[in-house]
Structure 1
Amino acid sequence: MNVVVIVADTWQFNYLGCYGNSWINTPNIDRLAGMSTVFENAYAEGCPTVPTRRALMTGRYTLPYGGWMPLGTRDQTLTDIMWHEAIRTALIYDTSPMHLPRFGYGRGFDTVRFFRGQEFDHFYSHDQCNLDPDRFHKPVYRDVPGKGREELLASRYCRQELLDYLPQRQHWRGEEDQMVARVAGEAIAYLQQRDKSRPFFLWIDSFDPHEPWDPPSVWDPDLCCPYDPEYTGMEIINPVPTYAEGYLTEAEEHHIRMLYAEKITLVDKWLGKVLDTLAQERLMDDTLVVFLSDHGQPLGRGVHGHGIMRKCRPWPYEELVHIPLIIHCPDAAPRRVASFVQTVDIAPTILSFLGITERGARMQGKNLLPLIRGEKDSVRDFAIAGYYNFSWSMITEDWSYIHWLEEKHFKENPLKAAAAVGLHDYQENTHVWTCTPGSEAQLPRSDELYDRRKDPFQQDNLLGADSGTATDLNRMLFDFMRSLKAEE
């Protein structure tokens, strides 16, 4: 038996046809969904990029323990386990935060193929560039005490991201040069040239559709964005992570979402070629195929992102933490599952499929195969999500509740993006566990409570009207976190 994991970074779950979107074109992932299990309530427990992948690879929670952390000597990853099982392993990716030397997320893979040029990578920044970054960059600066300087720093960093990215981008001549195309092409080559005498584990990690959102319509004068054909304004491909109000016009904000949608359609096309190759190589009958994203993305006002553009900390809202998760299991009929599942559940599910569960004893996730095979209806009554040292949230069938760990962080730095703080310089703080038993019942004013059935995208905070429910959820959340801490 083989396993293929496909991670597409920054994909809002509701930007997929199989999750109910009626206007976006994602035929290939939808086709996979039609032969697979679609998890309707999958959540990333600790955001964003690296914490999620740590949970995926180790089957252990990250949220109560740490943020952007390297793999440690006590961490047991899927590839650590497969090293002892004569399974060929390969990682094909362009997700540069995983590749940063301090993190070590290529550990244990027999084959590693990395494509340079995405976020945090300055490899091309010294090349001469004929593209003006200010053609695609809209800065922001508001003279608001405590926020203006921060937004200015974020603007400068976003412009620097373009200075890193555009020198290589200027040479692209067609779709085949897109980063997702290169990742998909290498994955296809691996599948076609693999050692067919050995089982394999292939991890494909595409940073697209992560920003910058520069699909073909941005570059080709003969094209217009298929989702926003009448737009004639500035192409803001790398917006500043901040409040949309006072920064972007409604037309600009809408167009950014449509560029994101166009990029998603492009990613769907190239991942579809990988799925086609799996079928052509007759692998679908003996291969577990897992498709998911690490997190979504706030994309502006209202239900699109609570007024936020890009994943500013510390808000763990639905548009960020609710993720698509589709698993094709050869011996299971297609179905949709409503049970809550989490990123920590992927690793134990893979080990169970491969029949080597005894090696995953330290994993905290749940095996999802009983759900996939229709043997169970549920494995969890709730999900958790959040940002380490900033926020915890609990999602149940009826409610979603958000708790701020340190109110001072929320008040002093509400717009801190990863860029502005230089790879999360707050990660060493360990004051998360300073809450004493009983103190959680005294809810800080900033906590939030939403009726999940009536208000799934969390627009109407009911904390003041139903503090009793919030207190109950707060206690449940802290009890669960204490249980995880006890297993550390």
Structure 2
Amino acid sequence: MHAVVVEFDHLSVDFLGCYGNSWIETPYLDRLASRAVTFDNCFAAVPPPSSDPNYRSATGPDHDRLELISALGEAGVRVSLCSEDDADDSILGHSDRSIHVKGSDAPEAPAAERPFRKLIDAAIALLDEPSASSTPSLLWVASRGVPSPWLPPAEVAGAYWDEFFDEREFNLLLSSLTEENDKDRASSRSRTTDDRLASGLAELSTAGLFHRFQTSASRELTNLNRAVYAAYVSAIDAWLGLLLDRLDVEHTADWLLIVTGRAGDLLGTHPAIADGCPPLLDPHLRVPLLIHRSGAEHWGTRRRRLAGTPDVFATLADWFEIDMQPPTEDSISLLPAVAGSHHAPRRECVFSGGAGVGWSVRTPEFRCVIGEARHGGDPPEETWLFLKPDDVADMLNVADQYPDVTSSLRDRIEEQFNQISRRSARDE
């Protein structure tokens, strides 16, 4: 009995073919979706910060992952962890193997030196170890996903610019990004468009201007933003394909593969955030979740029911048949949903944005977001309510139109807050 989890800190479902994107090439994830169960409405419980341009992976062992790893180890499951960044020292005593890879994010870095490619190579090496198939095992592959700043490899950086610009518009934009003078323009004629784009992005990053570019309301920069992000997603898909190909030739009869994320991304300025709403919205919190189980009869199916990232821990505990305290009282195993069995669906997902951010709750019909209290213990003053599934991107606040719903969901957020507080007190 074996399981592989691939988890991305940041990966927007809107940029994946298996979630409906028609202009970005993600053939390996699309192929996996045809052989897995895809959850259309999975949401991250506690997303990592996306507003910090220097943010790096938070995929070290948070409390829930550490509890799972500890319980698996006690049950005799061989646990291996691969991460793009250093994990906390506390995890080392709970896993059999822990590998942290480092690489170069420079656009000109060769593919073999990119962090995610090195991560995949390390994961494949662990799968190829002789002892990997003799005992129950979990391989957890923790990636930053699309890291900020988004500097894809130079050879693919310009793969999607023609989705948004004609050649003249794009060259003018590149000139403005790199502040080319007449002499620079003359010398740049011998350089490829991809090279110029990579240089422009690197210059923005070095100058500390990338965050302003990343959140710009300018149509041109927002479109370039999307094109660059798409290029990075395609590169990730190609490298992930190496691991998926390796698993294709694995003849283990009983194994589980989960591909998921910790957060999406808000590409461009969001109107609700501009009005003061915390970034706890569907585009940021909705994450991919694909589960492949060997021998399953429901490959290529989709589930529209709500799912949350804590359900991944409950699913793994169910898969390895171990008892452990669930991350939240309502976290549930998704194995019955993968098998096509009927069971009560999750009715809501509650989210905390961390200190100073706020809270959010998502139901099949609504998303409610409340801001952080402004004065000590005072209740939050701002509330946003978005109608689902019609308002896909959380654009129109309808809190005044549904006061009873708003009040009920605020009460549910307070209940969840109290539950977490009790758990924290118990663990101290």
Output the TM-score relative to the length of structure 1. 0.70
Aligned-partner SS, 2:82: strand
Structure 1 unaligned residues grouped into runs of 5+? 60-75, 119-164, 409-430
Partner in structure 2 of residue 115 of structure 1: 101
Q: Deviations over 1:96-119 (max 9, x none)?
A: 4xx256xx445512111111358x
Is the 8 Å Cα contact of residues 53 and 294 (structure 1) preserved in structure 2? no
Residues 80-479 of structure 1 aligned to structure 2 (within 5 Å): 80-96=70-86, 99=87, 104-116=90-102, 166=106, 172=109, 174-195=110-131, 196-216=133-153, 219-220=154-155, 225-229=158-162, 230=167, 231-232=170-171, 233=174, 234=177, 235-236=200-201, 238=205, 240-241=210-211, 247=216, 249-283=218-252, 285-302=253-270, 314-332=278-296, 333-334=298-299, 335-356=301-322, 358=323, 360-361=324-325, 363-364=327-328, 365-389=331-355, 390-407=357-374, 434=377, 444=381, 446-479=382-415
Cα distance change of structure 1 residues 228 and 379 upon mapping to structure 2, 3 Å threshold: same
Deviation of 1:261 after TM superposition, in Å, equals 0.8
Aligned-partner SS, 1:407: coil
Aligned-partner SS, 1:351: helix
Q: What amino acid does structure 1 have at the position aligned with 2:257? A: V
Q: Deviations over 1:341-371 (max 9, x none)?
A: 1111111211111122x2x135432111121
Deviation of 1:301 after TM superposition, in Å, equals 3.4
Is the 8 Å Cα contact of residues 44 and 52 (structure 1) preserved in structure 2? no
Aligned-partner SS, 1:473: helix
Aligned-partner SS, 1:352: helix
Deviation of 1:212 after TM superposition, in Å, equals 2.5
Q: Deviations over 1:182-234 (max 9, x none)?
A: 11111112112241322221011122322232222xx35xx661211443313
Q: What amino acid does structure 1 have at the position aligned with 2:10? A: T
- In 1, the alpha carbon distance for the partners of 2:59 and 2:282 equals 16
Aligned-partner SS, 1:46: coil
- In 2, the alpha carbon distance for the partners of 1:107 and 1:406 equals 39
Partner in structure 2 of residue 10 of structure 1: 10
Deviation of 1:54 after TM superposition, in Å, equals 5.2
Partner in structure 1 of residue 54 of structure 2: none
Q: Once the two structures are aligned, what percentage of the paired residues are identical?
A: 22
Cα distance change of structure 1 residues 307 and 253 upon mapping to structure 2, 3 Å threshold: farther
Q: What amino acid does structure 1 have at the position aligned with 2:83? A: Y
Partner in structure 2 of residue 419 of structure 1: none
- In 1, the alpha carbon distance for the partners of 2:277 and 2:386 equals 19
Q: What amino acid does structure 1 have at the position aligned with 2:15? A: Y
Cα distance change of structure 1 residues 302 and 484 upon mapping to structure 2, 3 Å threshold: closer
Is the 8 Å Cα contact of residues 391 and 402 (structure 1) preserved in structure 2? yes
Partner in structure 1 of residue 19 of structure 2: 19
- In 2, the alpha carbon distance for the partners of 1:344 and 1:51 equals 16
Answer 1 or 2: which has greater helix percent. Answer: 2
- In 2, the alpha carbon distance for the partners of 1:236 and 1:317 equals 27
Residues 9-88 of structure 1 aligned to structure 2 (within 5 Å): 9-48=9-48, 58=64, 77-88=67-78
Q: What amino acid does structure 1 have at the position aligned with 2:260? A: L
Deviation of 1:80 after TM superposition, in Å, equals 1.0
Q: What amino acid does structure 2 have at the position aligned with 1:250? A: R
* Two-structure CA RMSD over aligned residues (Å): 2.9
- In 2, the alpha carbon distance for the partners of 1:394 and 1:376 equals 24
- In 2, the alpha carbon distance for the partners of 1:242 and 1:379 equals 41
Aligned-partner SS, 1:83: helix
Q: Deviations over 1:301-322 (max 9, x none)?
A: 358x9569xxx99421111111
Q: Deviations over 1:128-168 (max 9, x none)?
A: xxxxxxxxxxxxxxxxxxxxxxxxxxxxxxxxxxxxx65xx
Q: What amino acid does structure 2 have at the position aligned with 1:341? A: A
Aligned-partner SS, 1:9: strand
Is the 8 Å Cα contact of residues 79 and 107 (structure 1) preserved in structure 2? no
Deviates more, 1:361-370 or 1:273-282: 361-370
Is the 8 Å Cα contact of residues 149 and 211 (structure 2) preserved in structure 1? no
Output the TM-score relative to the length of structure 2. 0.79
- In 2, the alpha carbon distance for the partners of 1:249 and 1:289 equals 40
- In 2, the alpha carbon distance for the partners of 1:205 and 1:484 equals 25
Aligned-partner SS, 1:403: strand
Cα distance change of structure 1 residues 403 and 54 upon mapping to structure 2, 3 Å threshold: farther
Is the 8 Å Cα contact of residues 313 and 387 (structure 1) preserved in structure 2? no
Deviation of 1:482 after TM superposition, in Å, equals 3.1
Cα distance change of structure 1 residues 485 and 5 upon mapping to structure 2, 3 Å threshold: same
Q: What amino acid does structure 1 have at the position aligned with 2:78? A: R
- In 1, the alpha carbon distance for the partners of 2:69 and 2:404 equals 45
Number of corresponding residues: 374
The runs of at least 4 consecutive aligned structure 1 residues that moved more than 6 Å come to 49-53
- In 1, the alpha carbon distance for the partners of 2:285 and 2:337 equals 21
